[in-house]
Chains A and B, each alone.
Chain A
Amino acid sequence: MIRFRTTRSPIPTLCICWLLLTLLVALITPILPVASPDTAAPERAWSAPGDGHLLGTDALGRDLFSRILWGSRISLACAAAGAFTALIFGVSWGLLAGGGTARRDNWMMRVVDLLDSVPVVFLVILLASVARGSAWQHAGGGLALFFVVLGIVYWTPMARVVRGETRALARREWAVAATALGTPSSRILWRQILPNLIPTILVTVTLIIPRVLLFEAFLSFLGLGVQAPEVSWGTLARDAFEVLNPVHTAWWMVAFPSIALALTLLALNILGDALRSDLDPKLRR
């Protein structure tokens, strides 16, 4: 059982359970006995939840429960890939800046400052619109490019955190001693400082993942992210809003994908906060 030092509330543990369940279901979706997410059945369109379809059907009669499960695969993959990109970029950038000369540190952090003062989200939308329908998209690289794009937005906070910690650690006696013994600075950085950063990196990643997940849903909702045959929680919400009108109030199409996304986001945020207060001695009471 996981035990947190700072809280005795069961909520963070519940969050871990929900996330593990979501992850497991997403992994084994292809072998689960659910309806196909793509089979249209016009005669069953707009069925309300229950009645053979657990969560109802959409405008084409496709089973919503199955589509949410398949959508979770893409959404979670986006979150993982985006966070991974942010992790690699951010940690390398932060380590190199924090462990280098003052001059290198200066220009590398200037780049981060510049990126943070720019509406990167809009540049990403521009990038997504240029990539859409271009040769990349047809070569099947659309989704891969999208993964990288998601990471680009969120690597700067990671770089900042890692750079700050690296600078502090590089002044410790053991780091100075290692330098005095003739250890190459790159070895000190990657073999001695990096392992000390792992708790901080872990917390930052837990807080980045929900933001990437949210950003994927945001882009897909606007039609600029995951494209039609693929499903994600964002595209499901887009489908729902396209047919939202007072005549066919298909509330389940809006509600269930949103609930899935909202629960996962809440769980990740709560878990991130719990981890942070657990690992940060300043917040520990």
Chain B
Amino acid sequence: MSRLLLKRLGASLVTIWAVFTISFFIIRAAPGGPFDADRDPPPDVKRAIEERYDLDAPLWSQYLAQIQGWMMLDPGPSLRQPDHDVASILSAGLPISLTIGGLALLLGTAVGIFLGLIAALRVGGWLDHLVVVIASVGISLPLYVIAGMLVLAVSFGLGWLPPAGWESVPSLIMPVLCLALAPAAQAARLVRSGLIEMSSEEFARTARAKGISPFRVLFRHCLRPALIPLVATLGPTAAALLTGSLVIEQIFAIPGVGMHFIQGALNRDYPLVLGAVLLYTVLLQLMTLLADLMLLSLDPRLRGDAA
């Protein structure tokens, strides 16, 4: 068990290092530097700027210095906001993004499991059809379409909720709802098909033959094995939530990591963008690790191999 965990952690570290290296060289391979978009500075000014940010050192020593900086969690200043360093910008945004993403994940999964359950209770019924349609629409619609319609209807049409911002609890409702839709649709589909598959298994038939009510068979006997695919896709779901949060933070003007990431990407603030990419990689690796641990506790058959 602990050996498995160590192995997984090692693989995660290698992945994070690979992402860092690839990102670093993508940035440095590009023609033109971050300050080229401004009016061409005089040569000595440019040299002074480059010296300030160590851009004149040889490539490999910059690489090593960057790695060292990141390991100390002190990656240095942002290029576009010289008064702030990357670590403080990202750590200010992280709690906000985590709040929205975490709430969306919890809400989406709960609603999705519920919908999958009621759809599987009567396969082929109108509730089932409704859930399937909602789920396939929820998966194929772009997030900004849903968010746009919601803002038009709820904020501008009815005037119930603020259209943007991050001050109060009501301003949190719409971003979380929008972000929760995709995981809910995904969970509903997975749970529904998992439950249908499980309820034709022999243990479910036996339970029904003994006179246990269909709902109880689904809820107590079939639900647990049907949740396995849901947990197994937790990593990709988290990745989808992170990409979704970029759009949501943009639309609702929420000062999370995603907004800084997009701002940094638009005005080519390389240290900030690199920091956000690294942060996202670490988050995803953590989620995948969590998913694997949850799978172990959910599926006793896996434990034999792990020991």
Residues of chain A having any CB pair with chain B under 8 Å: 114, 117-119, 121-123, 125-136, 210, 214, 217-218, 221-224, 237, 240-241, 244, 246, 249, 251, 254-255, 258, 261-262, 265-266, 269-270
Contact = CB atoms under 8 A, between A and B. Distances in A.
Contacts of A130: 26-27, 30, 268, 270
Interface of B: 15, 18-19, 22-23, 26-27, 30-32, 36-37, 136-137, 139-145, 148-149, 151-152, 155-156, 163, 235, 239, 242-243, 246-247, 250-251, 261-262, 264-266, 268, 270, 273-274, 276-277, 280-281, 284-285, 288
A119 B239 contact: yes
- What's the dominant secondary structure at chain A's contact region? helix
Given A129-B273, A134-B31, A266 B148 contact: no
Contact of B152 (A126, A132, A254): A254
Nearest to A117: B15
A123 B23 contact: yes
Nearest to A135: B31
Contact of A118 (B18, B139, B145): B18
A260 to B, nearest CB: 10
B148 A254 contact: yes
A262 B142 CA distance: 7
Contacts of B266: 129, 132, 223-224
- What's the dominant secondary structure at chain B's contact region? helix
Nearest to B31: A135
Given A258-B142, A261-B145, 12 more contacts: A117-B15, A119-B284, A121-B239, A122-B281, A126-B23, A126-B26, A128-B265, A130-B30, A132-B268, A214-B142, A255-B148, A258-B148
A188 B26 CA distance: 38
A121 B239 CA distance: 9
23 contacts: A117-B285, A118-B284, A119-B284, A122-B261, A122-B276, A123-B22, A126-B23, A126-B26, A126-B273, A126-B277, A130-B27, A133-B37, A217-B142, A217-B144, A221-B142, A222-B246, A237-B144, A240-B148, A241-B144, A258-B149, A266-B140, A269-B139, A269-B140
A218 B276 CA distance: 18
Nearest to A127: B26
Contacts of B284: 117-119
Nearest to A213: B142
Contact of A126 (B18, B27, B142, B143): B27
